[in-house]
Chains A and B, each alone.
Chain A
C-alpha cells in the first residue's frame, strides 16, 4: 500500500506565499488593468471570502447560518469607524496609497475581523443548544437585530449609513485576504483537529463519544467564519465607499448561502468556483437583471432536487462493495 503523506511538506504554506506574491504583483500592475475588470475582480474576491467562511460554519460544521451578512455588517462598520474616526487623528497628513494609509487599513481590517468574531461568539453560543432550522432562524434573527440596531445608532449614521469611506480597498488587499481565508479554512479542516468539524456535523453524540467537544467546535467555527466575514465587510465598505444597514439584509445572507450550496456544502474548491460564477453571472446577465433573483431561486430549488451535494461535486464516493 502506498502511503501518501500529505502532511510531510508544507505545500499549503507555499501556496499561500505564492498567492500573496501574486496579489502584490497584480496590484503593481493594477493601473494597467481596465477599472471595470478590477471592480469585478474585487467583487469576486470579497464573495470568495464570504463563501469560504460561511462554508466553514455551514458546510464543514453543519451549522446552517442565515446571518452571515450580519457579521459582514459588523465588520464593515467597525472598519469604517476606524478609518473615518480614528484615521484623521492617527495619521492626519498621510500620503494617499502610502505606508501609513495601508497600515491604518490593515488595522481597520483586523478590527473588522475581531469585532465580527466577537459577534460570532455571541451567535455561536445559542448554536450550542439548537440545530437545523431552529439555528437557521436564530442566525437570521441575529442578522436582523444587527440591522435594526445599526439603523437606530446615530453615531454610525443610523438608517442613512456611513458615507465618504476612503477607497482603501485594492486588488492586493482583496486577493491577499481571500488567499488567507482559503488557507486558514483549508488547513484547519484537513488537520486532525479539524476533522472534528465534520465529525460534529455528522453526529454530535458520536463526536462527544470520541472525546470531541461539539460546543467548542461550533463556537470556533462561528468565530473564525465571522472573522473572515468581518474582513470581507471591511473590504466591501472601503470598496463601495458607502454602507447602509439595509445593504446587509437577509437577501445578502441568502446570496452567500446560495454560493455555498451551489459549490457543495463542505467543498471548499466548489464553493470558490460558485462564488466566482455567481459574481460574474449578474455581470453577464445585466440585460436581464430583473430576473436575477428568480434565477437564484430556481437554481436553489433545482440544485436541491437534482444535485443536493452541489454543482461541483465530481468526487465519486469511494465506496466498498459489500462482500
Chain B
C-alpha cells in the first residue's frame, strides 16, 4: 500500500512534466494542425536557461528564487517559440503538411545539434534552485521537489484553462483552432493568435524543462527527445487539441511508465509509450477526450 502511494506520487510528478509539454503540442496542433517536433527541444532550452540563470538570481534555493528561475525560463522559451514560428513556420503557411513537418524536424535537429555545440554534449548537473527536503507522512516519504513539480504543473494547467476559457485571447484561440477561415472573417488576426499560442505553449515547455531538471537533477542537449516524444504520445492519448486531454494523457503516461519502471520489465519502459501510441492511433485515433473528424468528399 505504501509502495503503491509512493509510486503514485512518483508517477504523478513525472506525468506532470509530460502534461506541461503535451499542452504545448496540443495547442499548437490545434491552431496549425501539425506536430511541432521542435517543441521537445524548446523544453530542453528551458532547462538550460534555468541552469544559466540559477547562479544569478537573488535568493537561490528559496521558493521565491526558484520561481524567478522558472519564470525566466518561461519567458526565454516563449521568445524562442515565437522566433521559431516567425522564421520557420510562418513562411510555410498554406504549404503541404509534409513540408511543415520536415521543417519542424529540421528546427528540432538544429536546436539539438546547436545545443551540443553551445552547451557541450555532456550532461551538466542542475543546481537546487528550490529548497530541497523530504516530507514524511507516516511511513511515506516524498521529496519536496516532487510535490513542487506536481503543484506548479497543476497551477499552470489551471491558469491555462482560465486563460483559454475566460479571456478574449483565449476565445480567439479557440475560434482559430475550430475554423481558421471563419475566425479570419470574424476579424481575428490569425497570425497574432498563432504567435501567442507558440508563446504560451513554449513557456509551458520551458517550465517543464526547469521542473524536469530540478527533479533529475541534470540537463543535456538531448534531454528533450524522450520526454518530448512521450509527451506527444500523451497529447494523442488524451485527444489532440484538447487541453484537459493533454493533462490527463500526461498523468496517465507518467503513471504507466512509473509502474513499468518498478516492475521486472523496466528495460521496456521506453517502448511502452510507443506501443500505447500505436494502439491508440489504430483503435481510437481521436484519443480519450478528442473528437474524430471525417473528410468531406
Contacts and interface: CB of A to CB of B under 8 A. Distances in A.
Interface stretch (A19-27, A125-133, A191-199): A125-133
Interface stretch (A73-81, A165-173, A270-278, A299-307): A299-307
Contacts of B113: 291-294, 296-297
Contact of B112 (A62, A293, A301): A293
Contacts of B232: 137
A140 B102 contact: no
A145 B274 contact: yes
Contacts of B278: 126, 138, 141-142
B274 A144 contact: yes
Interface in B269-291: 270-271, 273-275, 277-278, 281-282, 285
B116 interface: yes
B164 interface: no
Interface string A74-92: 0000000000000000000
Contacts of B225: 250
Interface in B105-124: 105-110, 112-114, 116-117
Interface string A257-268: 100010001000
Q: Which 8 pairs from chain A and chain B are nearest by CB? A: A300-B106, A141-B274, A293-B113, A297-B110, A297-B109, A301-B106, A148-B271, A294-B113
A234 B263 CA distance: 35
A31 interface: no
Interface in A182-213: 205
B211 to A, nearest CB: 24
Interface of B is mostly: helix
B281 A126 contact: yes
Nearest to B283: A129
A254 B103 contact: no
Nearest to B277: A141
A138 B229 CA distance: 11
A296 to B, nearest CB: 6
B95 interface: yes
A321 B97 CA distance: 28
A257 B102 contact: yes
Contacts of A126: 278, 281-282
B74 to A, nearest CB: 25
B91 interface: yes
Contact of B99 (A134, A142, A292, A304): A304
Given A205-B297, A257-B102, A140 B110 contact: no
Given A132-B101, A148-B270, A305-B91, 5 more contacts: A141-B275, A148-B268, A294-B110, A297-B109, A298-B106
B71 interface: no
A293 B110 CA distance: 7
A308 interface: yes
A41 interface: no
Interface string A239-260: 0000000000010001001000
A132 B295 CA distance: 14
Interface of A: 62, 64, 66, 126, 129-130, 132-134, 136-138, 140-142, 144-145, 148-149, 151-152, 205, 250, 254, 257, 261, 265, 290-294, 296-301, 304-305, 308
Nearest to A143: B274
A144 B117 contact: no
A305 B92 contact: yes
Q: Which of A62, A137, A257, A290 has the most CB of B within 10 A?
A: A137
Interface of B: 34-35, 88, 91-92, 95, 97-103, 105-110, 112-114, 116-117, 225, 229, 232-233, 236, 267-268, 270-271, 273-275, 277-278, 281-282, 285, 295, 297
Given A140-B229, A152-B268, A300 B277 contact: no
B266 to A, nearest CB: 10
A55 to B, nearest CB: 14
Contacts of B229: 140-141, 144
B100 to A, nearest CB: 8
B117 A130 contact: no
A294 B41 CA distance: 14
B103 A136 contact: no
A207 to B, nearest CB: 13
Contacts of A257: 102, 105
Nearest to A141: B274
30 contacts: A62-B98, A64-B101, A126-B278, A126-B281, A126-B282, A130-B285, A132-B98, A133-B97, A136-B101, A137-B277, A137-B281, A138-B281, A140-B229, A141-B229, A141-B277, A142-B274, A144-B229, A144-B270, A148-B267, A148-B271, A152-B268, A254-B105, A254-B109, A257-B105, A290-B116, A297-B108, A297-B114, A304-B106, A305-B92, A308-B99
A138 to B, nearest CB: 6
A257 to B, nearest CB: 7
A201 to B, nearest CB: 10
A80 to B, nearest CB: 22
B109 A296 contact: yes
B254 to A, nearest CB: 18
